[in-house]
């Protein structure tokens, strides 16, 4: 690289690349899920596509799927090279192909967290102050398919020796985080399980259904109290096929990791939270979700009973 300074004047930037790992590769295929109706999501896809294409020097082809399962199957079958997926989705891929897929990046939020929490919430005027006090009281879950509003808290209840099917007087599904807050406020449940993020149990939370509704003046935060939390539950990941060239994986990781620092305005335009950034992860970051998924699969096969 000794002639770099001179060569740069000729308009040619110096590459530290030995050989060309691109030989025989015509394009990089990336799976994405979600609705085209969300303009921020569409913009995010386009931004990732353009950045990765520029960084890697190959076209990035998007494989769009209307549901999570489409992305999971595309990754598991090797139809795509990388994908962005939630922890539960990656756990499903892991169950199918193991080490052939690996998470490489997840978001680290401004306050430092790389996940979110399940929070057991009661009304502030409630005499219930702990999970022990909840025995014989009613509880509202979010949804049967909710990780933070059902899957994780039930698993954590069991870890603490509580059978979630018999411990509470009544349980039912609110249908969503917002509905769970309203049902709790209206006295429909003695407590509700909600997602909480933007902080931790020590410092408090700044995001989640309660905070969103409080900002919209629909509820007052002072009317509620968190009495128990479970988490953090790992956020979604960039997942790559490990049988692809290592230089490609390194370049993807670096290009995506540098994005919030290189282009802070674009980072906000595509709907990311200011102050957030990517951090490296491995399978280990998702081991709890993988274990929950395995337990779920076992239950579905009738080995552990239905929750």
Contact yes or no for 14/8 (Cβ under 8 A):
yes
Query: Of 137 and 253, which has the nearer Cβ to other proteins?
Result: 253
Stretch that binds other proteins, among 143-151, 159-167, 169-177, 256-264 (CB under 8 A): 256-264
User: Applying CB under 8 A, which of residues 165, 243, 262, 269 lies at the interface with other proteins?
Assistant: 262
Query: Of 16 and 35, which has the nearer Cβ to other proteins?
Result: 16
Contact yes or no for 164/131 (Cβ under 8 A):
no
Contact yes or no for 137/121 (Cβ under 8 A):
no
Bridge partners (DSSP) of residue 138 are 170
Query: Of 148 and 197, which has the nearer Cβ to other proteins?
Result: 197
Residues in contact with other proteins, counted by CB under 8 A, come to a total of: 65
Q: How far is the CB of 275 from other proteins (least distance, A)?
A: 4
Hunting for tokens 């502030």 — which residue is that?
124
Q: Does residue 111 belong to the site contacting other proteins (CB under 8 A)?
A: yes
Q: Does residue 54 belong to the site contacting other proteins (CB under 8 A)?
A: yes
User: Applying CB under 8 A, which of residues 71, 91, 93, 104 lies at the interface with other proteins?
Assistant: 104
CA distance 151 to 118: 10
Q: Does residue 108 belong to the site contacting other proteins (CB under 8 A)?
A: yes
Q: How far is the CB of 106 from other proteins (least distance, A)?
A: 12
Q: Does residue 242 belong to the site contacting other proteins (CB under 8 A)?
A: no
Q: Does residue 161 belong to the site contacting other proteins (CB under 8 A)?
A: no
Residue 238 CB partners (closer than 8 Å, separation 6+): 82, 83, 84, 103, 104, 105, 106, 252, 253, 256, 278
Query: Of 118 and 211, which has the nearer Cβ to other proteins?
Result: 211
Other Cβ atoms within 10 Å of 31 Cβ, number: 23
Q: Does residue 268 belong to the site contacting other proteins (CB under 8 A)?
A: yes
State the distance between the two ends of the chain, measured CA to CA, in whole angstroms: 62
Q: Angle at the Cα of 295 (from 289 to 298), degrees rounded to 5?
A: 145
DSSP, collapsed to helix, strand or coil, labels residue 108 as strand
Contacting positions for other proteins (CB under 8 A): 1-19, 54-57, 104-105, 108-112, 198-199, 203-204, 206-207, 212, 215-216, 246-247, 249-255, 257-258, 260-262, 264, 268, 273-282
């Amino acid at each position: 690289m000794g002639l770099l300074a001179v060569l740069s004047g000729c308009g040619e930037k110096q590459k530290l690349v030995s050989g060309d790992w691109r030989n025989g590769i015509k394009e990089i295929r990336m799976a994405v899920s979600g609705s085209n109706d969300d303009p921020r999501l569409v913009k995010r896809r386009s931004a990732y596509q353009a950045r990765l294409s520029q960084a890697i020097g190959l076209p990035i082809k998007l494989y769009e799927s209307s549901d999570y399962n489409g992305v999971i199957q595309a990754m598991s079958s090797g139809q795509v090279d990388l994908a962005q997926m939630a922890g539960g989705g990656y756990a499903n891929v892991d169950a199918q192909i193991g080490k052939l897929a690996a998470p490489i990046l997840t978001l680290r939020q401004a306050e430092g967290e790389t996940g979110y929490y399940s929070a057991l919430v009661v009304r502030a005027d409630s005499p219930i102050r702990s999970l022990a006090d909840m025995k014989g009281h009613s509880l509202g879950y979010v949804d049967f398919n909710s990780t933070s509003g059902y899957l994780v808290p039930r698993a954590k209840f069991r870890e603490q020796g509580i059978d979630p099917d018999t411990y509470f007087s009544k349980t039912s599904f609110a249908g969503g985080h917002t509905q769970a807050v309203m049902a709790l406020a209206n006295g429909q449940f003695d407590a509700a399980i909600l997602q909480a993020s933007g902080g931790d149990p020590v410092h408090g939370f700044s995001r989640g259904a309660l905070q969103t509704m409080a900002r919209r003046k629909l509820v007052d935060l002072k009317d509620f109290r968190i009495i128990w939390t479970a988490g953090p539950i790992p956020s979604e990941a960039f997942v790559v096929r490990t049988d692809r060239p290592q230089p490609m994986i390194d370049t993807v990781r670096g290009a995506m990791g540098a994005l919030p620092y290189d282009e802070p305005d674009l980072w906000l335009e595509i709907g990311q939270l200011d102050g957030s950034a990517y951090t490296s992860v491995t399978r280990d970051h998702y081991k709890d979700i993988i274990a929950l998924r395995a337990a779920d699969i076992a239950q579905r096969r009738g080995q552990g009973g239905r929750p």
